Structure 1
Amino acid sequence: MQLTDFLKVDTATNPHFHPHHSTKLVYLNNATGFPQAYEYDRDSQQATRLVETSERIMLATYIENDLLIGMDYGVNEKQQLYLWKNNEDLVPLTNDPAHIHHYGGVSPNKEWIAWSSNRRHEQFFDVYIQHVSTRDIQCVYKDDARYDPVCFHPDGHHLLIKKTNTNLDNDLGLLHLETKELEWLTPHESEASFTDAAFSNDGKSLYLLTNVGREHTGIARLQLQSKELEWLYTGDWDYEALTLSHDGTYLAYAVNEGGVSHAFLTHLPSQTAKKLPIQSGVVTSFTFSHDVTQLVFSLDGAANPAALWCYHLKEQTVTKLANSTREHTVQEKLREPEQLAFTSSDGETIPSFYYKPDGDGPYPTVIFVHGGPESQIRSVYNPFLQYFVSQGFAVCTPNVRGSTGYGKRYHHLDDKRKRMDAVRDLNELAEWLKTEGFAHPDKIAVMGRSYGGFMVLAAITHYPTQWAAAIDIVGISSFKSFLENTSIWRRKVREDEYGSLEEDRDFFDEIDPIHKVDDIQAPLLVLHGRNDPRVPISEAEQIVEQLKHRHHPVDSLYFENEGHFFVRYENNLAAYEKSFSFLRKWL
């Protein structure tokens, strides 16, 4: 099998049923080489690409019989909204390519849509509504903070909005669109998130996910008048992907158990819950059909790439939607990972997924670190990691301290000046893999993207003798220069996690890889997109330049038409062919 075979496996995500037809749904598929909008017809079992564009489509959903499209340019994340009417050209709605626009729902009468944008000031996001027919735009709420619309109230006169305080803390409020009065619904003192909110049909309550006063996220019902919170489901893992059926009778949701999803459906009138029979993987994007007889979702598993699946409520069966993705030839080569954990030197349990190749160990091993760190590596299809395994490399993907999915306490174990404890986890993981016979002692590489790229650079500067090779993808080489140069709207939420320029410059000078380049012993490959609005390409250029100056083995590949994420097939092929050649050379 070639790398191309793994990369050509297309994925189906983000399904939305047509509001009036239970046989049609729209979703995103990357079969062309980057995400595009497709419509699936249940009667013919065929999918049709809807919009011809050479750019990434980030959003596709229905507004009556028309399609709302969200698209950016050059993967710069400055999403613009369009209306696709009568199978003709895209009609611009936001038409402000210098700024970001986040969609926030359509009004009950389907005449207005809501969105947020930083068009007033680059650092702040205000809330707008726009008339679908006249294109008239009204700013309904502005303040010097991050605000986003969530959804319209069933009465059409109120809008649920979210204020983001940090990546893990937010508030929900009900905005009266005529008076502009805002009533906060979720007062709280300690850190808490309130997400996936949906109004009951009578408009008197909200179903939502929250971890207020708890270690893990659960499902609750919030009474709007009294602001009383009633817990419906809680547990020792996070609940996610909460979706309410159009008639208000069913809740669909998933439980994230160590990076693997379990899917459930609750009938609200009877309060009976049923676990759905699904394959191993991660469930996202539930959508109910108009007649509430079908529940479609995207299921992405390590050995079962993301496709659309349907749960038939009457028959209580799950079937894959034929032809929602193409047939692929790599199925027999795909590996399900083992869930492993080791105990760090300070007693923390560090979980990971381990992909074992054919043959007997110990193996040349790649440790791959996720971004965030407010994120979690999960059991999903990853084409280049699966390719590495098929070529004889073992792959270990840890959820180092600071990862989400394991409770608030675990997430905060790497905050600010505890940052290097997470880097120590990587070094101790490598030692543990060697001790257990999983990894060849002299053939361990570390690889990561975004914040994971920082972890790579920190690992090879603070533990230089551990690593045989390293690959940094859109990584941070200096928190100080990163915070100075990242998009201004991101700086505050990043400082809450990483530390601030005002208070932590001395600490950044102490840990930043750019100040310890002379300690690096491992050969380094650096990959980056020039349109990256999150981690500027200067983070890559400065460390590559210094390593070249000291004649250290370093290589780089920069993409002119990519941002923080590589979405185009030809660029992913180039990036990971180079990565594989690099690993093969040094391991």
Structure 2
Amino acid sequence: MPDPERDFGVARFLAVDHADSPTLTPDGRLLFLADTSGTPQVWTVAEPAGWPDRLTPHEERVSALAASPTDEAFVYAMDAGSDERDQLFHYDLATGVERALTAAPDATHSWGAWGPDGDRVAYAANRADGARFDVYVQSVGGVAPDGSRDPAGDPERVFEGPGGFLSVAAFGPDGDRLVLTKAHSSYDEDLTLLDLDTGETTRLSDDTEATYSHVHFDGDGGLVCVTDRGSDTAYVGRVSLADGSVTPVAGHDDAGGDPGSDAWDVDGFAFDRDTGRLAYTVNEGGYSSLHAGTLATGADGDPTLDPVDAPTVDGVVSDLGFGPDAERIVFTHTSPTEPYGVWSVGFGDDTATEWTPVGTNGLPDDAFRAPETVRYGTFDGREIPAYWTLPPGVDPDDPDASVPAIVDVHGGPEHQRRPWFYPTKQFFLHRGYAVLEPNVRGSSGYGKAYAHLDDVEKRMDSVADVAAGVEWLHGVPAVDEDRIVAYGRSYGGFMVLAAITEYPDLWAAAVDFVGIADFTTFLENTGEWRRSHREAEYGSLADDYEFLQSISPLTHIENVRCPLFVQHGANDPRVPVGEAEQVAAAAREQGVPVETLIFEDEGHHTTSRENLIVEFEAIAAFLDEHV
């Protein structure tokens, strides 16, 4: 436990602001999201480290933000009670007037792209059928000669989706085409060109498994994007609009991305069509490297990159974007000891400038700890990458330290724990807990082959990787092997429940956030549009029902030995709250101490700072009692 005089409390850590999602207006005005008021809202700042102005006044979270390409205006998305049924709003910076573009609270509106003239937007929504996303184009209204603004038009459905999730990836430079992506699974997408005049579609993807993200028209008969087509890891590629063929441009590596191979994914990309300038990030074992250059044509006629200088970054970079004339690159930056903030760099420069220094509420520098990257062996000889952090002042070789440890498993499962700033992790480190964050098989960031190692019948292999992490902890002299906590959110919540039922003797306590307790009830009750996507990962109700029951933690609940904390949001559209209710009830029937915390005004994520404080104060008290 921390020194009583330095017990800062979880509220102090959670009040560290988080700024991200930068976007620049045609005049170069920086807009971004920040949670200074308790939920993410839109803010603006005129100069680096200047005093920011809050633009949106809401209590509900803003989840997406995009500046107009032609006007001093932006569109943002906002849901209610964290239910993920986003509605879209238009905000005029000249007048401060904001207007709802959509008003269908039972539907989810997934932001897509601005039209090139700034008069229309395109997005996907399940307005007509909850199980199907269609594509809509809508006028945002215009400024009349007398200065008044014409009202926004009604949504026009321009494409009926085939069922499941569909996204608008890009709006064509002439305003007559859209690029759509249809996800069959996390690693298998269709890429389609939609002609808005005729309604005809052209498939640009082939029958191989591949993903396509950060898509831009290049102005020369192609698209540039991040893809992993024909490769285990993702790279910047050019897709021909004539035949759908893909040519690597940058970041391509023929090697597999399995941990330890040093073949990495490109995971971020920005492109300016007028200048041909681009920027991209490479995920090197979780840490980002930033690259920039200009798209050019090689001697063989294929696209290539003329590189320029870019700054070296320590941590993780995301949300890349260009400003007017591509003179400036903006991005979000974070590291284990540095909160999320917005930075910029001049194109070709090697020094970045921080625009939103959010501060740390007076917490001293030694209140934040950086992890060590480690690898530990698992049952099949594979090595599992992980981040390992000890609390302040602890010698890992000191057997008298007797440190409790939290094994924090990420969600997804097609996700990756990276060296981000986690205020709650820092809080637990400050309270004397060590933290192990494994990227078990099935994680992203290490190529497609590694991500597929836990598919369907191989699901429990990833749980065995968690148990192997505990065995590794047993070899750290400073760790008390009788005080190890299983901890995880969403799919990580399933991993917690699976770990305490499959390996019950390893754990002193468990904390499950919005976890899957029974795969069959989860798939039956999750959002209709998500079901087929999730079945591709977990197995289908039609073909794998008995198997899904056999690997569900609820089936083996009698094995649980340790106290259990269960947190959920009543509005969760992904993992319905019934998963929490049934596992808590079943564990109590076994005589297991169970504490539940269900927020009626939250969903899959706890989004308000007020609720987060309640949540983590309760978890800290639970762990104090049982660990």
2:362 corresponds in structure 1 to 329
Distance in 2 (CA, whole Å) between partners of 1:437 and 1:415 is 35
Distance in 2 (CA, whole Å) between partners of 1:490 and 1:115 is: 18
**Which residue of 2 is the match for residue 360 of structure 1?**
395
Range that drifts further, 373-382 or 546-555 = 546-555
Amino acid in structure 1 at the alignment position of 2:162: D
Confirm whether residue 42 of structure 1 aligns to residue 71 of structure 2. Answer: no
1:345 aligns with 2:364: no
Deviations 1:272-304 (A, max 9, x none): 324633442111111211132221110011111
Conserved? CA contact 2:311–2:349, under 8 Å: no
- Name 1:568's counterpart in structure 2: 608
Show the 5 A alignment for 1:542-561: 542-561=582-601
Aligned 8 A contact 1:246 1:288 in 2: no
Aligned to 2:274: 247
Deviations 1:432-489 (A, max 9, x none): 1112435321111110000100100011011111101100000011001111111111
With the length of structure 1 as denominator, give the TM-score of the two structures. 0.96
Q: CA deviation at 1:532?
A: 0.5
Match of 1:526 among 566, 580, 585: 566
Question: Following the alignment from structure 2 to structure 1, what is the Cα–Cα distance between the partners of residues 471 and 333?
Answer: 34
1:144 and 1:185 mapped to 2: Cα distance? 16
**Does the 8 Å CA contact 1:263/1:275 hold for their aligned counterparts?**
no
Shift of 1:521: 0.3
Q: 2:211 aligns with which of 187, 193, 206?
A: 193
Aligned partner of 2:234 in structure 1 is: 217
The one of 577, 582, 585 equivalent to 1:537 is: 577
* Structure 2: tracts of 5 or more residues without a match: 1-7, 142-151, 254-262, 297-303, 397-401
The counterpart of 1:181, out of the listed 200, 211, 229, is 200
CA distance in 1, matches of 2:490, 2:462: 15
> Are the aligned partners of 1:46 and 1:324 in contact in 2 as well (CA < 8 Å)?
no
Deviation at 1:9, TM superposition (A): 0.7
User: Does the 8 A contact of 2:249 with 2:305 survive in 1?
Assistant: no
Correspondence 1:149 to 2:149:
no
Distance 1:375 1:276 in 2: 27
Distance (Å, rounded) in 2 between the aligned partners of 1:260 and 1:585: 36
Please tell me whether residue 160 in structure 1 is matched to residue 165 in structure 2: no
Q: Where do residues 55-454 of structure 1 align in structure 2 (5 Å cutoff)?
A: 55-63=60-68, 64-85=71-92, 86-133=94-141, 134-145=152-163, 146-187=165-206, 189-200=207-218, 202-233=219-250, 234-235=252-253, 236-245=263-272, 247-269=274-296, 271-274=305-308, 276-313=310-347, 315-321=349-355, 323=356, 325-326=358-359, 328-330=361-363, 331-357=365-391, 358-361=393-396, 362-437=402-477, 439-454=479-494
Distance (Å, rounded) in 2 between the aligned partners of 1:40 and 1:263:
24
Residues 242 and 28 (structure 1 numbering): CA distance in 2 closer, same or farther, change over 3 Å? Answer: same
* 8 Å Cα contact 1:253-1:264 kept in structure 2: yes
| Cα separation, 2, equivalents of 1:395 and 1:496 | 31
Give TM-score scaled by structure 2 length: 0.90
Instruction: Say which SS state the counterpart of residue 291 (structure 1) adopts.
Output: helix
CA distance in 2, matches of 1:554, 1:584: 14
The CA distance in 1 between the partners of 2:498 and 2:468, in whole Å, is 14
Contact 2:135 2:161 survives alignment (8 Å): no
Q: Give the direction of change, closer, same or farther, for the CA distance of 1:515–1:102 in structure 2 (3 Å limit).
A: same
Alignment partners' CA distance in 1, 2:481 and 2:348: 55
Q: How many angstroms does 1:316 deviate by? A: 3.5
Residues 365, 396 of structure 1: 8 Å contact kept: yes
The offset of 1:560, in angstroms, is 1.1
Question: Partner of 1:504: helix, strand, or coil?
Answer: helix
Name which of structure 1's ranges 2-11 and 307-316 shifts more when overlaid on structure 2: 307-316
Separation in structure 2 between the aligned mates of residue 167 and residue 307 of structure 1, nearest angstrom? 28
Mapped pair 1:489 → 2:529: yes
Quickly say closer, same or farther: Cα 1:43–1:455, change in 2 above 3 A. closer
Please give the alpha-carbon distance, in whole angstroms, between the structure 1 residues aligned to 2:61 and 2:583: 30
Deviations 1:158-210 (A, max 9, x none): 111112221211121111101001111122x231111111111x241111111
Indicate conservation of the 8 Å contact 2:405/2:433, yes or no.
yes
SS in 1 for 2:80: coil
Alignment counterpart, residue 500 of structure 2, candidates 460, 463, 474? 460
Which residue of structure 1 aligns with residue 148 of structure 2?
none
1:259 is matched by which residue type in structure 2?
A: G
Preserved CA contact (<8 Å) 2:139 2:154: yes
* Residue 577 (1) aligns with residue 612 (2): no
In the alignment, residue 214 of structure 2 is paired with which amino acid?
D
**8 Å Cα contact 1:3/1:577 also seen in 2:** yes
Identity %, equivalent residues: 36
1:373, 1:402 within 8 Å by CA — same for their partners in 2?
yes
Contact 2:291 2:310 (C-alpha < 8 Å) held by counterparts: yes
State the alpha-carbon separation in 2 of the partners of residues 104 and 389 from structure 1: 39
Cα deviation digits, residues 373-393 of structure 1 (max 9, x gap): 010111001111111111111
Residue in 2 aligned with 1:501? 541
The total of aligned residue pairs comes to 582
**Equivalence for 1:26:** 31
The structural deviation recorded for 1:226 is 3.7
Shift of 1:247: 2.5
* Letter aligned with residue 504 of structure 1: D
Aligned-partner Cα distance in 1 for 2:187–2:478: 35
Moved more, 429-438 or 531-540: 429-438
Question: What secondary structure sits across from 2:504 in the alignment?
Answer: coil
What is the alpha-carbon root mean square deviation over aligned residues?
1.6
In 2 relative to 1, CA 297–44 (structure 1 residues): closer, same or farther, beyond 3 Å?
Answer: closer
Give the CA deviation at 1:318. 1.1
Cα distance, 1:130–1:324 mapped onto 2, change above 3 Å = farther
Is the deviation greater in 559-568 or in 502-511?
Answer: 502-511
Q: Which moved further from structure 2: 522-531 or 149-158?
A: 149-158
CA drift at 1:88: 4.0
Structure 1 CA distance for aligned equivalents of residues 549 and 74 of structure 2: 50
Secondary structure at the aligned position of 1:521 is classed as coil
Q: Structure 1 pair 281/547, CA: closer, same or farther in 2 (3 Å)?
A: same
Instruction: Give the C-alpha shift of residue 325 in structure 1.
Output: 2.6
Q: Distance in 1 between matches of 2:15 and 2:291?
A: 31
Structure 1 residue 90: deviation in Å? 2.8
Pick which of 343-352 and 329-338 moved more.
329-338
Q: What letter corresponds to residue 225 of structure 1 in structure 2? A: A
1:98 counterpart letter in structure 2: D
Is residue 153–residue 203 contact of structure 1 (8 Å, CA) maintained in 2?
no
For 2:10, the equivalent position in structure 1 comes to 3
The one-letter code matched in structure 2 to 1:325 is V
C-alpha distance in 2 between matches for 1:575 and 1:456: 18
